[in-house]
Each structure stands twice: as structure tokens, then as C-alpha cells.
Amino acid sequence: MTESRDGQPAHGAPASAPPPRLEGTISAHFARFLAGEVRKAGGDPGKVARLPDLRTDVLDDDLSRVPTSSAIAMWSYMVSRNSAQTRDGALLLTTPPPGSFGLWDYMLTSGPTLMDSIRCTARHMGVLADPAVENLEGVEDGALFTISYSSGPYEADVSAAQEVFALAVLLRRCREATGAPLVPVRVELRQKAPRSRAALLQLFGTSHVDFASSATSLTFLAQDARRPLPKAQHGLLEMLCEHAIMTMGAARPVRDWYDVFRLTLNASFELDSLSLETVAQQMAMSPRTLQRRLAERCSTWRGEVENARQEKALALLQDGRLPMTSIAGRVGYSDVRALRRAVRRWQTRPTEPSGAGTDQT
């Protein structure tokens, strides 16, 4: 939890822990923005994410929560479409105007001071992002005030684009809040230094950009972060923080994590990328966490894969339009004989509950 200089809880209403059901999800505001960027890049968000959770009716509902795996799929698509830009360190996405992220934006710009606003926003990061993997922190250390951001263990190019974008949004909001052309004393990025740094130096307005750092952060002079904000209204930040708690309590995940897992698992067959590590990464969790969650359902990775393979193979066989060799390849069997043995095995026993088995590796 973010603390003030004297170790007391940060300014604003006390933050309760985000509901566990929101873990693995992002807000409709953020999902809407990403979907719009995918369209600008020439893609279809629903097909990119391979999950039917990016329909217009879902994205238009501010209380909807979209699986983080869909967000990562959209990020991956945009990075792949802009690989040359990403290698050069250029900002991948446009920086959204004020209000694009709803309540989160207003908390960040409505406190008595920038420090107060950052601390409140950090404590309620779940109102916008995945509370299980994304974290914001504001720490005052002598003459400096540092805003640190961290996200999930994604692919290096996705993490690099995501972190630059996060700092760009934070810097723009800090400038909007203070009404001044605020310049960071230092910028730290975890990514390796790109071939050209010009775009990033221009973006942050400083030559003090460090790469391969242990954290992603913006550092300002503490005196700038403590100045009263010109648009501050007494009691507004406390009210917004309380509203954030109520918003997270009323939020509606599009589906639970197991539904996301089943859809991600089935998509992995199509992409020929079936592995525990790949599926866990697409769901923005570690392989060990995925195994633990399956165990809580009396299920295993091996059992889930076997049942998904059976369902897909039998559906393709019943359809009758593909030869046996193609079906075997699509469901992960080495040859037709292995598929036939599996079919005979399935026919001699009833279908097991999803996840039956003991091997979790």
C-alpha cells in the first residue's frame, strides 16, 4: 500500500482489497481504448483476442470487466503490427485525452496536490487495470517524489510497449492536473535501450531516461508534487475514492477465470501453441497459479487438455469434412494411429469430469 512520508496511509478514503473476482480482468474503459487502437491498426478486436468478450454491448457497459488475456492479445497484435516502431522505442499508442479512463482519470487529477492524487489512484488501481498484476506506487524520498508502475510477466516487447504507454499517460495526467509543463527529473524503464532514443526523449521531455532499470518510474521534484492543484475542490478526492470502492464492488466480469481458461485452451489448439506456460501467460498468470486454480476445482492441466482434445476431435470427426490426418494434427496427435487409439479409448469409457487426472505437469 502506498504511504505518505510519515508512514501513515495515503490521502483519501480507505481502500478495501479489490474483490477476488476482479483478478484477471480490466475495466471496460481500458478495454474500449485498446479495442479502438486495434481498429486503427487494421484489426478486429474480437478476432485478435479470440474471445467473445469484446462485443459492443460489453464494451459500452462501464461496469463490465474484460479478461486480461484479451487485453494482452490486443497488445501483442499492436506490437506485431508496429514492430519497427517498437524496436526504435517510439510510443506505440496514442495518449488518450482526459476522461478516457473514467473514474481513474478523475482521481488522478482532482486531489489537493499531485501527491494526494497519485496516492489515491494507486490504492484504487483496480478500478482501471488488473488488480492481480498491475501496481502503481507514489513514494516521497527527500527532495524527490517517484511514481512507479509494474505489470504482469508478459513478453518483453509487449511489456516494453505497455510500460512506455503507462508512463506517457501518467505524465500527461500529471501535467493536466498541475496545469504546468511538468518535466521529470528522471525516467526509468525496464526495457533495453532501443537503437534510437529520440522518440522517448521527446516524449518525456528529458534526456535523463535510464534503460534496463529494476523498475519503471517517473521521478519529479517533491516541491512540484506538493503544490496545490489549480482545479482541486475540497472533499472531491475522498468522494471519488469512495466511489471507486463502490464501482469495483458493482463491477461485472464478463466470465469467470475458468471460462476464460477453457476458451484460451481451445484457442491454443488452433494456434498450435498448446503448453501450460503459453496458456498461463495468455491468462496473465503464472503456470503454478493456473495449476493451483485447477486443483481447487479438483482438476489438472493434463486432464483439461485431454478433455478439450476429445471434444475437439470428436466434433471434427462428426463434421466429416477433414481427413483423419488433418484432424490428428489439429488436436495434437503425431499420426492417425494415435488418434484412432484415443477414439477407441474414449468410446470404452464415459466422459470424465473436466480435469480428471492426477498429473499437473
Give pLDDT, residue 338: 87
209: phi then psi, degrees, rounded to nearest 5: -115, 115
Q: According to CATH, where is 1.10.10.60 located in the chain?
A: 257-347
Nearest C-alpha neighbor of 134 from the set 118, 147, 120, 153: 153
The three cell numbers locating residue 270: 488452433
- Whole-number Å distance between alpha carbons of 27 and 97: 17
Nearest C-alpha neighbor of 262 from the set 289, 315, 299: 299
SS (H, E, C) 57-102: HHHCCCCEEEEHHHHHHHHHHHHHHCHHHHHCCCCCCCCCCCCCCC
CATH topology of domain 257-347: Arc Repressor Mutant, subunit A (1.10.10)
Residue type, 285: M
Give pLDDT, residue 9: 43
- Whole-number Å distance between alpha carbons of 5 and 222: 11
Residues of the chain with pLDDT under 50: 1-14, 84-90, 353-361
Model pLDDT for residues 273-315, shown as the tens digit of each residue: 688 998 888 777 789 989 998 998 899 999 999 888 888 888 8
CA distances from 195 to 85, 167, 199, 200 (A): 11, 20, 11, 11
pTM of this prediction exceeds 0.75: no
Identify any residues that bridge with 146 across adjacent strands, giving them in sequence order: 139, 219
Give pLDDT, residue 8: 40
